[in-house]
Chain A
Amino acid sequence: MNNFLLLPIIIPFFFGMILLFGQKSLRFQRGGAMIGLIISFACAVALLFKVKNDGVQTVTFGGWPEPFGITMVSDMVSALLVTTTLLLAIFIVWYGFNSIGTAREHFYYYPAIMMILTGVNGAFTTGDIFNLFVFFEVLLMASYVLIVLGGTKKQLAGSIKYILINVISSALFVISVAYLYSVVGTLNMADIALKIAEVNQPGIITTIAVLFLLVFGLKAAIFPLYFWLPTSYAAAPPPVLALFGALLTKVGVYAIMRTYTLFFIHDLSYTHELLLWLSVLTIIAGCIGALAYFDIKQIIIYNIVIAVGVILFGVAQMNEDGLTGAMFYLIHDMIIKAALFMLIGIIVYKTGTTDLRKMGGLMRSSPVLGWFYLIAAFGLAGIPPLSGFVGKLLIAKGGFEAGNLGTSIFILASSLLVLLSVIRIFIYAFWGEEQPTKPILSKKQTTQLFIPTAIVIIISIAYGVGAEWLTPFMNDAGKTLADPSIYIDAVFKGE
């Protein structure tokens, strides 16, 4: 079936529509969301193996010839990201059952989650630059709903900033697409890549490349454009925060990866050098933020910024090792960020505060939580058998091959600061004297929250230990990114 690659986009959309009905029936809402996610995850896994066996899958809507219709392209990069997205969504929705509160569940929480997944999967799969804009808007609209749903004062104040920054970046996206269209006269991504190769990189293409970096950098929170992220993400309740932290900035990172490996590859000394230095500055800024706060939400939020920097550093190398490493690290980071936000959500629900200085001695009351947190923290920092290791190793190897010695060593050294920032949570919250707590949820409810969290952490351990098994998939992804002709040939296969 040629349309198979559309299923991970259409099924969440379909279930999102269905869930708009039966608003007050919790069983229908929860069951519908879970069934929809599991079916679409199964389709995504089948798609992953299909891409592995048969190469890049493409479909052009309406049977139009290639550059004229909207093409959807599922290569290894997008198939891996779609699969990870749906896998994490299952556990984050499960986590929400006991923590989001029935008031939110009654007001279209699950339809909004389904729409956000439609947007994210669509953005990962599309092969048309304007269609990418539309899918960005689909996921952003759903994320506005999720961030403000509940309507507490903090959420209202945080979401105004979030919406404003995204309205501006969407307008910039439209402007950049308009400029690109006036230069190359096409919107199909494969066709754009061909046309840009033909016009031989005049200055205007470099300008457009920087504009696109500005647009996607605003979505992905890279160095001078990350200031909106901490305040607005801190406003969201933990399950929503886990969803945002795992998925939303990664869509921006993916868009930078795609445009900077497919379109703008003819003036590497300017565009990719810029990307390299911005990613280094992003890591520095993230490290400062992660060490400066005593608020556990802020510490993990600044760790998102650090990870974005590390992934883009891998992209900036433009060799196969760097790009494969970036893919490894991207998937690792989606899993581990979901796990960490779920964990600190449990800590907040248990202690009733986000301030580290008011916590302590949790190891005595909940030792299992403590050990799982420690494993997740080590995984984030990239300690060998765990998940962050292979990605960072390959990124550093790619950096050494490209001759960026100093910055590669800096990337490795930044892991120490990441480790310090998350171990600080462990030391303050789990060691020391027990502090008085005012739990938000009952003990039974927090135990139920722990099950999906533990499974995500076990997945991240398996991702690290089973890296060998995943390597063929990641190598395929790295190859497609490093050699744009694979992507272009797949789209224009008819000619």
Chain B
Amino acid sequence: MEIIMAFVIGLLFTAAVYLMLSRSLLRIIIGTGLLSHGAHLLILTMGGLDGKAPPVLTDGVTDFADPLPQALILTAIVISFGVTAFFLVLAYRSYQELDTDDISAMKGGSEDDE
């Protein structure tokens, strides 16, 4: 099972890198989404996929899934939600201000310092 997961995660990373190297800002943000999916699945896989029962205390059950990686993923998910929401609004603002979503065309005026 871990081997299959490793291949799937590798595929997610490949897609993420490909998207993040493109020019359109929206494709880049989709790439960061895939990257964080890959990272979260990787934590789950690296914690081991062998536990049978969900990590909730029940009488007579001894074979629990490792609860720690699940807590780590939950933390990492909300953090990447926050960052992605900020990033999307930033992309919207910069589309309004700079009139482009081409990352290589984004060069702010050098003299608007204050």
Q: Contact residues of A with B, CB < 8 Å?
A: 101, 130, 133-134, 137, 140-141, 144, 148, 151-160, 163-164, 167-168, 170-171, 174-175, 177-179, 181-182, 187, 235, 237, 348, 354, 440
A-B contact pairs, 12 of them (CB 8 A): A151-B93, A163-B86, A164-B20, A164-B28, A164-B87, A168-B20, A171-B35, A177-B72, A178-B39, A179-B46, A237-B113, A237-B114
Query: Is there contact, CB below 8 Å, between A174 and B76?
Result: yes
Q: Which of A130, A144, A153, A179 has the most CB atoms of chain B within a 10 A radius of its CB? A: A153
Query: Is there contact, CB below 8 Å, between B112 and A153?
Result: yes
Total contacts A-B at CB 8 Å: 115
Contacting residue for B109 out of A153, A159, A179, CB 8 A: A153
Chain A residues with CB below 8 A from B35, complex form? 167-168, 171
Query: Is there contact, CB below 8 Å, between B113 and A348?
Result: yes
Query: Is there contact, CB below 8 Å, between A134 and B110?
Result: no
Chain A residues with CB below 8 A from B108, complex form? 152-158, 235
Query: Is there contact, CB below 8 Å, between A157 and B98?
Result: yes
Q: A141-B86, A160-B90, A178-B39 are in contact. List 11 more A-B contacts (CB 8 A).
A: A137-B83, A144-B86, A152-B112, A154-B113, A164-B20, A164-B32, A168-B20, A168-B32, A170-B80, A174-B36, A178-B45
Q: How far is A41 from B87 in the complex, measured between Cα atoms in Å?
A: 33
Closest to B17 in A: A168
- Which of chain B's residues 1-54 have a Cβ closer than 8 Å to chain A? 20, 25, 28, 32, 35-36, 38-40, 42-43, 45-48
B: contact size bracket: 35 or more
Query: Is there contact, CB below 8 Å, between B112 and A154?
Result: yes
Chain B residues with CB below 8 A from A237, complex form? 113-114
Contact flags (1/0) for B68-98 with A, using CB distance below 8 Å? 1100100110011011001100110110011
Q: How far is A105 from B69 in the complex, measured between Cα atoms in Å?
A: 40
Closest to B73 in A: A174
Chain B residues with CB below 8 A from A179, complex form? 46
Contacting residue for A157 out of B38, B94, B114, CB 8 A: B94
Contacting residue for B93 out of A130, A156, A174, A187, CB 8 A: A156
Q: How far is A101 from B113 in the complex, measured between Cα atoms in Å?
A: 12
Q: Is B103 interfacial (CB 8 A cutoff)?
A: yes
Query: Is there contact, CB below 8 Å, between B86 and A178?
Result: no
Q: Name the distance in Å between A163's Cβ and chain B's nearest Cβ.
A: 6
Query: Is there contact, CB below 8 Å, between B87 and A175?
Result: no
Chain B residues with CB below 8 A from A440, complex form? 113-114
Q: How far is A187 from B90 in the complex, measured between Cα atoms in Å?
A: 34
**Given A157-B94, A175-B42, A141 contacting B82 (CB threshold 8 A):** yes
Closest to A237 in B: B114
Q: Name the distance in Å between A360's Cβ and chain B's nearest Cβ.
A: 19
**Given A157-B107, A174-B43, A354 contacting B113 (CB threshold 8 A):** yes
Q: Name the distance in Å between A465's Cβ and chain B's nearest Cβ.
A: 35
Query: Is there contact, CB below 8 Å, between A167 and B32?
Result: yes
Q: Name the distance in Å between B40's Cβ and chain A's nearest Cβ.
A: 8
Closest to B35 in A: A171
Q: How far is A174 from B45 in the complex, measured between Cα atoms in Å?
A: 13
